[in-house]
Amino acid sequence: MTEPQNRNELLKSIPKTDRILERIPKSIPHTLKVTVCREVLDGLRRQILKGRISSAEALGLERVVGLVKDALERRLRPSLRPLINATGVVVHTNLGRSLLPEDVFKQIFEVAVNYSNLEYDLEAGRRGSRYSHVEPILCELTGAESALVVNNNAAAVLLTLETLARGREVIVSRGELVEIGGSFRIPDVMARSGAILREVGATNRTHLRDYENAINENTALLMKVHQSNFAVVGFTSKVSMGELKELGRRHNIPVIEDLGSGNLVDLTPYGFTHEPTVQESLKAGADLVSFSGDKMLGGPQAGIIVGKTELVDRIKKNPMNRAVRIDKLTLAGLEAILSIYRNPEEALKRIPTLKMLSMPYEETKKRAQRLARHLRRQGLEGVEVDYMDTISRVGGGAMPLQELKSRGVVLDLSRLSPKGVDAAALERELRAGEPPVIARIEDERILFDTRTIRDRELPVLSECVKMALKRAERASA
Ligand SMILES: *Cc1c(COP(=O)(O)O)cnc(C)c1O
């Protein structure tokens, strides 16, 4: 701690703004330079007043110019940028959910930098429909009569309810009134759509008679919602799509399902618990099914609605559809992803989300060995590199109970901790690096789950660790 009189001396020795600005490249806009310079100097003043800076050396012109340049660099780089996901959560909503294969991106690139037939019928030589690019393949893959794509699944659900049930009742089981992260809640979306939620059954058990007793002349839809991100276990009972369809048929009421994360391939051969695929839901009798493009499908953000032509046509004509319409880049990406699904084995190999989800434990083990080799090569002094079995998660609010056995690499910092560099400090510096690395902390150790780290990222990550460790050591010195 510095004495108060020293603090005044230190405050006076802060370099003058003009002298700093002279040394910043001319190419940077003047006002930005001034703003950032002021911020840095204010920060230094605060640190002096708190007694955290005790020598004039920390305030030398070169050092302060360096701080301003660093701050400018942080300000000028893109805010949204790539990072390494070492959490083992595959469809990580906060980290961008799904990754596109690079060749899919080429398709998006071509459509982005050229004019395209977005809404032009090349055969007829007149206006066409943007939906025509993905509707046929969606029908081919799912067996649906018709399809429509919108901005995301939340929009798909809202639009469907608004079109088919505004001012009328929609019957949903109390066990399916789910909240997805980010404020999407079935009861709230229902209210916004103008539909009236008619909840039936109990949280753990709903019977067919519960639906049947709630049907009246104002019932518009019977709706099933996938319990995406939670599970009810124990004394439970729910009504199958088949039974609901039969009930709907008798009363002439359509049955719809919000599948959330729609799977097009069955992952049970890869050790997954069974989840209905989009095809299965339609086959069981759903008149409409909606799902996300960027959850387990592994594509771009989109909401997909498939089902009966009569219902899909009504949704297409809703003026609200225009407000949630899909853009051309997403369409290009979605079409390319869907075409990979024509060969499901190909999809498991080429779509990163599916590849990571279906990656066997043995493969994660090999990757862990490779990562450990890279890390050891960095010669990280005082850091022990070891292995640990861990559990990866599907994420994205899908399959919450699904445990994917995986192999991680751990960094034990116990020999450095007395010097102030512990797992929390390193984790913070890893996030601050370029590219940032998002890791987990387990038992005071840094854990990298190798399932979500791509091959080419293995050497990059070890480089990032080295730099982060240096920064953490400097910060604690
Ligand atoms: C994820 C999810 C949604 C929202 O989908 P977005 O594509 O994120 O808008 C809606 N319903 C269910 C059941 C979900 O799991």
pLDDT confidence of residue 5: 66
CA of 472 to the centre of ligand 1 (A): 39
Pocket flag, ligand 1, residue 224 (CB < 6 Å): no
For residue range 344-389, what is the model confidence (pLDDT) as tens digits? 999 999 999 999 999 999 999 999 999 999 999 999 999 999 999 9
Angle between helices 328-340 and 135-142 (to 10 degrees): 30
Residue 41 has pLDDT above 90, yes or no: yes
Residue 3 has pLDDT above 70, yes or no: no
Q: How many domains does the chain have?
A: 3
User: Are 189 and 222 spatial neighbours (Cβ–Cβ below 8 Å)?
Assistant: no
* Residue whose CA lies nearest to ligand 1 atom number 6: 153
CA of 309 to the centre of ligand 1 (A): 23
Q: Same domain, yes or no, for 182 and 212?
A: yes
- What percent of the chain is modeled with pLDDT above 90? 86
Closest atom of ligand 1 to 302 CA is 7
Q: Same domain, yes or no, for 246 and 384?
A: no
Q: Same domain, yes or no, for 317 and 375?
A: no
pLDDT confidence of residue 2: 59
Confidence category of residue 55, pLDDT binned at 50, 70, 90: confident
DSSP category for residue 80: S
Q: What does the alpha-carbon distance between residue 135 and residue 316 come to, in Å, rounded to a whole number?
A: 12
pLDDT confidence of residue 318: 97
CA of 260 to the centre of ligand 1 (A): 5
Residue 181 has pLDDT above 80, yes or no: no
CATH number of the domain within which 204 lies: 3.40.640.10
For residue 354, give the nearest of 100, 83, 84, 143 by alpha carbon: 100
Closest atom of ligand 1 to 227 CA is 13
Q: Same domain, yes or no, for 272 and 419?
A: no
CA of 228 to the centre of ligand 1 (A): 8
Pocket flag, ligand 1, residue 198 (CB < 6 Å): no
How long, in residues, is the chain? 477
pLDDT confidence of residue 231: 85
Q: Same domain, yes or no, for 67 and 136?
A: no
List b or e across 166-194, with b for residues whose CB sees 16 or more CB atoms inside 10 angstroms.
Answer: eebbbbbbebbbbebeeebebeebbeebe
* Residue whose CA lies nearest to ligand 1 atom number 2: 260
Pocket flag, ligand 1, residue 226 (CB < 6 Å): yes
Closest atom of ligand 1 to 261 CA is 15
Q: What does the alpha-carbon distance between residue 301 and residue 306 come to, in Å, rounded to a whole number?
A: 16
Q: What does the alpha-carbon distance between residue 299 and residue 104 come to, in Å, rounded to a whole number?
A: 9
CA of 133 to the centre of ligand 1 (A): 23
Which of 188, 192, 226, 228 has most ligand 1 atoms within 8 Å of CB, for mutation? Answer: 228
385 φ/ψ angles, rounded to the nearest 5 degrees:
-100, 120
Which residue, 350, 371, 390, sits at the end of a domain? Answer: 350
Pocket flag, ligand 1, residue 225 (CB < 6 Å): yes
Q: What does the alpha-carbon distance between residue 245 and residue 45 come to, in Å, rounded to a whole number?
A: 70
Q: Same domain, yes or no, for 360 and 342?
A: no
For residue range 59-95, what is the model confidence (pLDDT) as tens digits? 999 999 999 998 999 899 999 999 999 999 999 999 9
Q: What does the alpha-carbon distance between residue 429 and residue 355 come to, in Å, rounded to a whole number?
A: 29
Q: Same domain, yes or no, for 12 and 44?
A: yes
Which residue, 318, 350, 382, sits at the end of a domain? Answer: 350
Pocket flag, ligand 1, residue 154 (CB < 6 Å): yes
Q: Same domain, yes or no, for 217 and 285?
A: yes
Residue 183 has pLDDT above 60, yes or no: yes
Confidence category of residue 474, pLDDT binned at 50, 70, 90: confident
| Residues spanned by the domain of 63 | 4-76
Residue 334 has pLDDT above 80, yes or no: yes
CATH number of the domain within which 367 lies: 3.90.1150.180
Pairing mode of beta strands 440-442, 196-200: unpaired
Which of 93, 152, 153 has most ligand 1 atoms within 8 Å of CB, for mutation? Answer: 153
Cis peptide before 187 (omega within 30 of 0): no
CA of 399 to the centre of ligand 1 (A): 13
Pocket flag, ligand 1, residue 330 (CB < 6 Å): no
Q: Same domain, yes or no, for 19 and 145?
A: no
Q: What does the alpha-carbon distance between residue 227 and residue 158 come to, in Å, rounded to a whole number?
A: 18
CA of 418 to the centre of ligand 1 (A): 46
Which residue, 299, 330, 350, sits at the end of a domain? Answer: 350
CA of 287 to the centre of ligand 1 (A): 19
Closest atom of ligand 1 to 154 CA is 9
Q: Same domain, yes or no, for 337 and 361?
A: no
Q: Same domain, yes or no, for 172 and 317?
A: yes
pLDDT confidence of residue 97: 95
Residue 232 has pLDDT above 90, yes or no: no
Q: Same domain, yes or no, for 299 and 422?
A: no
CA of 432 to the centre of ligand 1 (A): 31
Q: Backbone dihedral region of 143: left (phi > 0), alpha (psi from -120 to 50 degrees) or beta?
A: left
pLDDT confidence of residue 417: 83
Residue 40 has pLDDT above 90, yes or no: yes
